[in-house]
Structure formats: C-alpha cells, structure tokens
A and B are shown apart, each in its own frame.
Chain A
Amino acid sequence: MAKTVLSVRDLVVEIPTRWGVLRPVDRVSYDIAAGEILGVVGESGAGKSMTGNAVIGLLDRPAQIAGGEIWLGDTRIDSLRGEPMRKLRGRRIGMIFQDPLTSLNPLLTIGDQLTETILEHLPVTTAEARARAIAGLEEVGIPAARDRIDSYPHEFSGGMRQRVVIALALCAEPELIIADEPTTALDVSVQAQIISLLKRLCRERGVAVMLVTHDMGVIAEAADRVAVMYAGRLAELGPVREVLTRAAHPYTAGLMASTPLASQGRERLRQIPGSMPRLGQLPEGCAFHPRCEIAQDRCRLGPSPHIEDGSGRASCWYPLHNMEKEDA
C-alpha cells in the first residue's frame, strides 16, 4: 500500500447563522494515498466542494472547521492559519478550479502566473523558474510551450486553459491536488483529455488527487476509490468498481440507477423521489431516510451505523449487501 498523503478524520465544517449552526460537512473521514485518485461525488450542496476548501484552508467566512483532524503527511493542517497555511498552499496542496475561463488572471501572461508561483515556493532564480514553467506547460501538453508562455489566457481555448490551470496547480510540485469539478465547464471530448491528463500526472508523479465532481462518468473513468456524500455526510466509500456495480448504500444505488448509460436501452431513467434536504432542515437519524425505499423506524431515530467490509464502508442500517456492522 502506498504512503497515505491526506488523512481526514471526522471533519466537521460549520456555518454559524442567525437561525442556528449549519453543518455542510458532518464527521467525514477518508484517506488518499500517493498516486491514488479519490473521487468525491454528490449532488449540489452535498458538501463535497466544502470538504476540498476545508483541506486547503480556503473556506469562505463564516464557514469554519469546527471539529476533526486533517493530516497532510505528518503535518496536522486543520489548525494552521495565516502564514504557515499560505506556505502550504500551492507548495504541498495544489488546487484546480471548475471554470478555466475565469480562474486565470486575464491581465497577466501565463508565464507571469507560473513563474510567480514557482518563485514563491521554490528556491530558484527567475531564469530557472521560467525554464520550469516551460517544462510544466510541456508536461500538461501545451504545444510549442516556449512560444506560448508569454501569451495571455484569452489566447488559449478552454481545454488549453484548463491544462494551464493544471500546470499552475502542479508547478511547485505539491503532494496533493484538489480538483474541484475540473471538467464540468468543458466540452465532452475535452473532458476526456483532461481526465486522462490528470490520471497520467497522478501515476507519473505519485500525486494524491481528490477529484470532486457530480459526474458519475468522470468518477468511473478516473477514480480509484469513490466517496459518496449526501447532505454533508459520507454515505459510502469504497473502490470504484465495487461501489458502482454493487452499491451498499441505498442512496448510491439510487444515484447509479439515475445515471444514463449509452449501453443501456431507452428505458425511462429512474429517479430518487424528493430532493436533498436543505442544511437547516435535516431530518433526525439518517439524512436520506425520507427518500429511502427501505427505511425502517430505526433509520428515523438515531444516526446510522458505520459498517465496513475489507475495502469499503457505508453508513446504513440496511446495506444492500452484507457488510460487517460496527458500533454506531
């Protein structure tokens, strides 16, 4: 087993509001090993982006980490603030945003943006930083990088810009990449390219990747393991094959049934009835029980137990296949 790069333990993110405290992330735990891609899926508002922002320390106020631990290698980073956290960002954790059209500064050349990041984190001269920047652009597949480095972002297409964004996230050689919906804003053909680029970089460099997306196709294509989030909680976590083909949590099963597959006929897609509850109105017990077909009384009363088998775990009283039960 490869070395664990990121370890999140019982992470809680809270937003204090006038009407009470909201918990967009509620006791979430997972690990990511070097060279591994962990997919994090869920509907909008399930807390998947919030988890990523908490790890890199970029939660928008008033959201804050209210509990749990985040370990990056041997460093505990959830308690870091200010300067130490800033030095970590870009250097040890890189981040890729959703929309490549807006995540590059339009008034600076991509070379400027690359070299400033490299010079900020690595002890190199300006000339070395520039050479590294060119190498980085070549690595992510920008043709004629030496000529293109002094171009402005608007001179690139969307897919090329996302490559530049990836080069920027990687340029100080971080151990962990948080990719927040990296393909959502791109054309389908470009999506595939970006996904295979991420996979290649992850394998070659041994970077741990947290791939946040709502797209099951992207997960199936790219991720090694997948964490399914629902209403701020981790519903299920396990190897991709297993979760996709043999889901243990009824929500995951519903999510899979509602994903269209080209190979299937033109049946009506199944829907999960209802919608995800808003954070202020979470039901007692398992957050999914109002929409769950197999929910029983005890699902409504208390938190559901964490159950585990060899490679995966789920949080459910009635998993769809047998797993060992652990104490709730």
Chain B
Amino acid sequence: MLAYVIRRVFQSAIVLLIVGLVAFAMFRFVGDPVDNMLGQERTQADIERLRDRLGLDLPFPVQYWRFLQEAAQGNFGLSYRQGRPVSDILIERAPATLELAAVSGVLALFVGIGLGVFTAIRRRGTAANLIMTVSLIGVSLPTFLIGILLIYLFSVELGWLPSFGRGEVVDLGGWTTGFLTISGLKALILPSITLGLYQMTLIMRLVRTEMLEVLRQDYIRFARARGLRERSVNFRHALKNTLVPVITITGLQLGSIIAFAIITETVFQWPGVGLLFINAIQFVDIPVMAAYLMLISVMFVGINLIVDLLYFAIDPRLRVDRTGGGGK
C-alpha cells in the first residue's frame, strides 16, 4: 500500500509540473504585462527596469525554474493590477470560496446520497418519481439561471435572503468566516444551493442507479434470506457497496465545485477567488490567473489522491498486500 501511495503522489507531482508549465507559458505568450503596468507615459528605461525587476529578461528555462521555486513557496509574484503579492490576495479571498464550496459540497453529498437511497428503495413510489422528475431540472438548467431564479424568488419577490455578497463576516486570525453571524449564514444559503444543485442531482441519480444495481446482487438476497432487517440490508449491506463507485465521481465533483464557483460567485458577487479570477481575466492580470490555475489544479489533484486512498478504506479487496488470514 505504501508503494501505491508513493506512486500516486509521484503521478500527482507530474500533473502539477505540467499545469505549472501551462501557467508559466501564459506569462510568455499572453500579451506583454509591462505595457499594461506602465501606461502611456513610459520611457524605454522604465520598461527595462520593470522587465529586470519582474525577471522577464532571463532565458525561458531559468524563468520557469524560478517560477516553480517561487510557486512551491506560495509566491506568485505581484498582481499586475493591484501591485500586491498574489498570495496575499488569494489568502484574503480563499475563505469565502472555501466556505461556499464546503457548504455546497456537504449539501450535495448528504442530500444527494439521501435522496438517491430513498428513490432507489422506493423506486415505484410517487414521491420517488416526483423527485426524479424534479432532479432533471437540476441536471439540465445552467447554474447562472438557477442563481438568477433563486435571487428573483427569494430576494426580489419574498425579500427573505440577500442577493449578493457574504453579509457580515468575522475575522478569525486572517480567516474571515460567515458562519458566525446571522447575515453571513443567510448570505450563504442561495449561493451554496446554486453551486451545489447540479452536483446534488448528479450524486443522487448516480447513487440511485448504483443502489438499484447493488440491490439485485446475490449477497443482498442472501442477507434477506438470513432474516436481516430491511434497514440493515439497505444501509449496512447495500449502501456501502453503492458508495465504492460513487466516491470517484463525487470526488471529482467536489473539485469542480471549487472550480465552477466562478459562475456562482459572479452571479452573487461573492468575494471569493472565482470572482477574483474573472476580474483578473478582464485586466490580463497574469500572475493572479496563473496562481488561480495552480491553486485549482492542486485541489483537483489533492482530492483525487484522497479519493484513491478512500477506496482502500472502503474496499478490502484493494488492500493487496494483505495475505489471506490474519486479524486486523
């Protein structure tokens, strides 16, 4: 198992190196940042000085190496637009996105699995059919439309929930949280539903399909034939087997929750890294874009790694180094 983990970590590192190359290539090929930074009244000397300060005059491999070194330390240089270190800006913005993604992820996971199991067990029931029909909306409507509809209904018409921003936040040693104030929590509701709805319906449909498949298996019949309670058959025997394939998709989906937060953050003007990225694109703020790219890929790769390791925890058949017999 240790060999497997080392191999997976190694593969992850290669992926990150390649993404780093792409991020770095943006510096070279997407416009000249010096033009943007110095404005109209610049002299050749100003340009040279800035190029030197940003390290743009060095050879390509040296620049890439320096970029990697710096990036590994979390240093992505200065934002072209704000003139502040990108890492500071990201750290400032990250809590908003992570809190939003966490709430959406938990919502999608628990409601998705719950409804998936329900619709599988009661697959002929009216309620289950209704849920399945409604879930089509979640799968087929684009995120921004759902966000706008929710804002229209709950903010404009009913006036229950705020339509933009995080509400009041509390600063806990550099981590701003919206969990501790009423307005912060209220502000979380609509964006997290918007962000998580697609994943929720996807997980639900996936769990349902897998569960129906598992419920047809011999070991479920055998569990029934041994007189186990329905609850034990459904949750102890069936759900655990259902979760094995569901974990992969769910893991990838949680990664995309963070990545696709861009749209939700734009609709709700949520001050997270997604909104930061959109603004960075408009201003060709390449250090911010590169840092965002690296951040998202680190999260994706990290989540994938965790998912692979979770397999081991759930499915004993994968623990190949365990020989037959022997206790735990």
Give the B-binding residues of A (Cβ under 8 A). 56, 58, 86-91, 94-95, 97-99, 102-109, 116-117, 120-121, 144, 147-148, 150-152, 154-156, 165, 168-169, 172
Contacts and interface: CB of A to CB of B under 8 A. Distances in A.
Contacts of B237: 105, 108
Contacts of B227: 86-91, 117, 120-121, 172
A89 B225 CA distance: 6
A103 B314 CA distance: 19
B158 to A, nearest CB: 44
B44 to A, nearest CB: 70
9 contacts: A58-B221, A86-B230, A91-B227, A95-B226, A148-B325, A150-B326, A152-B316, A155-B325, A165-B222
Contacts of B228: 86, 90, 116-117, 120
Nearest to B319: A152
B209 to A, nearest CB: 19
Interface of B: 217-219, 221-230, 232, 236-237, 240-241, 244, 314-317, 322, 324-328
Given A106-B241, A154-B317, A95 B217 contact: no
A131 B316 CA distance: 24
A103 B219 contact: yes
Nearest to A100: B218
B224 A58 contact: yes
A284 to B, nearest CB: 36
Contacts of B223: 105
Given A102-B217, A106-B316, A107-B316, A56 B225 contact: yes
Given A108-B237, A117-B227, A103 B222 contact: yes
Contact of B241 (A97, A107, A144, A154): A107
A155 B244 CA distance: 19
Nearest to A60: B221
B241 A105 contact: yes
A172 B176 CA distance: 58
A165 B219 CA distance: 10
B219 to A, nearest CB: 4
B316 A97 contact: no
Contacts of A152: 316-317
